[in-house]
Amino acid sequence: MSPIAETYSDLYSALSNLREHLHLAGRIDDSNAKLDEVSKILAICIAVNRGWIKADEFEALINSSQHDHRATEVLQKTFSACAKEKPFLNSDGSSIFGAFPKLNIQDNDNEFALLLSRTLYATFSRALSHARSGCSFDLINEAFGHFVRDNFRGNIEDAQYMTPPEVVDFICEWALAEIKRHDENFLDREFIVMDPSCGVGSFLASFYRKLSSLSEKAEKNVKLIGQDKVDRMVRLSKINMMLFGSEIYDIDQGNSLFNCGRLNRFNGKVDLILTNPPFGANISSAQITDEPAANYPLLGNASDISSSIDSELAFIDRELALLRDGGKLFIVVPDSTVSSRGLAETLRVRLMGKARLKGVVELPSVTFAQAGTRTKTSILYIEKRLDKSPDDLLAMAIIEDLGFQVSMRKGVAVKKYEGTNELSVLSKSLFNWPGGKGVVSENPSCIIECADDVEQKSWTASHYSAKRLRATASINAIRETEVKQLQEIVNFETKSRRRLKAEPGSKCISVLHVIGDGVINFNELMSYNPKTKGNVCFPGDILISKINPRIPRVIVVPDLGFPTTCSNEFEILSVKEGIDPYWVSYILLNKLVQDQIQSLTSGTSSSHNRIKTSELKIVEVPVPKTESKKIDMSKVVSTYRDSINSMILSSFNIYKMRQRQA
């Protein structure tokens, strides 16, 4: 186990012990209050480490048994001194810990005071050690996850899905690499970094830590601006910044989308935004239109489009307004932002009038599993630019492993470190890419494409996978064949078939009825009563499942002696003149074709992946172009057709035999 993984493992055990102790003793029932106590002890640790307060008794309490019998008294005394220090005061002079700062520990509860202080001080010390060695360890993030994550799940607008440090570090390193690539002297001027939905401040803390290790100018010329709707998050953000020695932050409580004069002052001035905003909440378009027009350059007239706007789309628009020309936005968004139609597509189109897409990194569904959701997400890198060039390039990458899985332990979702952090692998190749189009990495997949080609098509990173490029290159290399798109050899019939009325006695073929190469499970088919009517299909039609294509399901509809329909998950294809449906079925299950199909899917999770009709149409297939090659293929297809029909007939006969026995 790596040192960082070992530290996380120890932290999980320590925080679980604290939770168990609090539960058994009936102390501090509210999860938010538990986290508050943790943050207060961390504040003491910071103040002691930085020499802000004289704390001989506290240090003796941590390192020996000298004051065990008066642990509560020592802890209360130390915190009282700590809370008065300037770093823990708001701009109006009040304490970030409230009007009357005090530890919520009962008098003489020395056992709990010892457990709390020694556990957190030991973890704090290890976190500092990792920070000095350049490793990331997000102590505040993990503490939040153990104590209060569930409290926020019920309120989607305040949802706090803390970004894993693996993702935070990659984004900050990517941002730093891009900034240095284009402006090596950026620290010679004021440089504004912002997170308008900062949560516990992970992005700001990580970026500052990386930047300050490169230059002493960071402390002088960088401004770190943070804001969050929840005041507890603001307090935790400030403590997080202090953990890593930063004193240049400006973090405050407020709604970054509406009625925020504080952020309005930064319109057109921000150099870099690093953020993971709340997503899935519905924002009234009326609220958007009530804001100054400069705040929402893309969706300011959203009332003409929709009555409500997803919060992630509103944040992208607001953040675009905050950026200066040339400013960069790195944002974590749900899959719908890059793949859905409707308002998301409208935003993408309008965004390209004022900015340039520079990169998309698709993340695995486990990314936010510790936070309670397996929604698929992507990292978007957008640069605000009016001057564009046809030579502009962007990166499209797919991450399948972050080096951890998530499991439940004593009611808490915790990481189990296994596998490889592919973001770390990707950073070594992507950040050092010399330039030009090409395959940066095959595993994990990352390619560099022309921005113009991507912006006008799909923003889904998997559609540009190295596997798909390999497949199309291999197809083009096959001798005596010509490459055609699927739409050139078949007709897409699904839309027209929806208007046909099913005949009485029709049986509906579901995707779950198709087994292997074109075989039907007749037991399931004959007893299936769909809740919604299917689309009419005829013998000789080709059905290909559009849902979850990683399990290939393709079949030529056989003549079963009764009329058939198929479920809406199928695309219905009919062959063009001179094309054999069994050849199409055979070629659709070819590995090179399947690699393309599986790369062209999109969806919120692995079990809900789907390929759109428009994407299926452009799948490339090798078509024999010489007579000898066609003859060779006809023999293969004839054998394939006879084998499939034989299996279907045998399967149907066995079904009828079983029915007669019943």
pLDDT tens digits for range 214-267: 877 777 889 999 999 888 888 888 888 887 666 778 898 889 998 888 899 999
Which pLDDT score is estimated for 531?
Answer: 86
Strand ranges in 196-322 using DSSP code E only, listed in sequence order = 222-228, 249-253, 270-275, 282-284, 308-310
- Shared domain for 291 and 241, answered yes or no, is yes
Number of domains in the chain: 3
The residue type at 565: T
Residue 509 maps to which CATH number?
Answer: 3.90.220.20
- 3-state SS, residue 87: helix
Residue 410 corresponds to which tokens in the numbers above?
């004593």
Does this model's pTM top 0.75? My answer is yes
46-55, 212-221, 383-392, 479-488: range with lowest mean pLDDT:
212-221
In a domain, 596, yes or no: yes
Residue 306 maps to which CATH number?
Answer: 3.40.50.150
Q: What are the Cα distances from residue 244, in Å, to 122, 148, 389?
A: 16, 23, 40
- Shared domain for 429 and 491, answered yes or no, is no
The two counts, helices (H) then strands (E), for the chain are 25, 25
In a domain, 469, yes or no: no
- Contacts of residue 662, defined as CB under 8 A and 6 or more positions apart, other chains included, come to none
- Please check the confidence at residue 149 and state whether its pLDDT lies above 80: no
- Please check the confidence at residue 162 and state whether its pLDDT lies above 70: yes
- How far apart, in whole angstroms, are the C-alpha atoms of residue 549 and residue 591? 12
In a domain, 137, yes or no: no
Of the three residues 417, 437, 464, the one that is the final residue of a domain is 464
Residue found by looking up tokens 């080609």 in the block: 453
H/E run at residue 597: helix 591-599
In a domain, 507, yes or no: yes
- How far apart, in whole angstroms, are the C-alpha atoms of residue 163 and residue 140? 12
- Is 423 in contact with 170 (CB distance < 8 Å)? yes
| 265-299: burial string, b at 16+ Cβ within 10 Å, e else | ebbeebbbbbbbbbbebebebebbeebeeebbbbb
Which pLDDT score is estimated for 426?
Answer: 96
In a domain, 147, yes or no: no
- Shared domain for 632 and 485, answered yes or no, is yes
- Shared domain for 88 and 117, answered yes or no, is yes
In a domain, 177, yes or no: yes
pLDDT category at 305 given cuts 50, 70, 90 is low
DSSP 8-state secondary structure symbol assigned to residue 547 = B
In a domain, 548, yes or no: yes
Q: Domain of 176?
A: 152-464
- Please check the confidence at residue 539 and state whether its pLDDT lies above 90: yes
- Shared domain for 93 and 219, answered yes or no, is no
In a domain, 142, yes or no: no
Of the three residues 464, 490, 518, the one that is the final residue of a domain is 464
Phi, psi of 335 (to 5 degrees): -55, -35
pLDDT category at 373 given cuts 50, 70, 90 is confident
- Shared domain for 513 and 619, answered yes or no, is yes
Which pLDDT score is estimated for 158?
Answer: 36
Q: Which stretch, 247-256, 394-403, 409-418, has highest mean pLDDT?
A: 394-403
Of the three residues 132, 164, 180, the one that is the final residue of a domain is 132
Summarize the confidence of residues 612-625 as an average pLDDT. Answer: 92
What average pLDDT does the chain have?
Answer: 85
366-375, 553-562, 614-623: range with lowest mean pLDDT:
366-375
- Shared domain for 459 and 503, answered yes or no, is no
Question: Which residue intervals of 498-580 are DSSP H helices?
Answer: 522-527
- Shared domain for 273 and 404, answered yes or no, is yes
Report which of residues 108 and 283 the model is more confident about: 283
Q: What are the Cα distances from residue 327, in Å, to 354, 381, 419, 495?
A: 12, 11, 35, 44
Phi, psi of 196 (to 5 degrees): -75, -10
- Shared domain for 457 and 502, answered yes or no, is no
- Shared domain for 103 and 224, answered yes or no, is no
List residues bridging with 394 in a β-sheet: 449
- Please check the confidence at residue 155 and state whether its pLDDT lies above 50: no
- Please check the confidence at residue 14 and state whether its pLDDT lies above 80: no
- Shared domain for 426 and 486, answered yes or no, is no
Which pLDDT score is estimated for 601?
Answer: 83
- Shared domain for 123 and 159, answered yes or no, is no
